[in-house]
Amino acid sequence: MTSEETTEQRQKGLDMMSKVYGWEMKDGPGDFFAHTADHLFGEVWTREGLSIRDRRLLLLGALAATGQTDVAEIQAGAALGNGELDGDQLREIALFLCYYIGWPQGTRLNFMFGDVIGKYEKAQRKQAESNGTPASS
């Protein structure tokens, strides 16, 4: 599908993907991408009743429970970048989930969140320095 052929549903999905992940999402090839953009993001993530933050919290819990810390890492970074969660809240999520997903898995989540928070804070400091403004911690 070329950009001229982008359907209204696909554009709705791409717009929501961009909003969720915090970067501009371009159209992609294949049926898998089509279902992801059109249905998951174009229909499910855009439904009323839950905010993006609500959905992100639920998703983080589900990812943690299934041991998918690699995908949770992407979600945590996007949550920080979009201002939906801060570092303290991510650490609290990890501690809370330890009691439900098991201490070893919760510990992995906590360490991963620590890495994501560190990268985010480093990027914020670098951006502040390049803008000539003091960075806040």
Residues of the chain short of pLDDT 70, as ranges, are: 1-5, 134-137
pLDDT of residue 137: 52
Q: Closest Cα partner for 94 from 108, 83, 84, 115?
A: 108
Count of alpha carbons within 13 Å of 135, Cβ hemisphere only?
A: 12
| Token output for 38 | 């059109």
pTM, entire model: 0.85
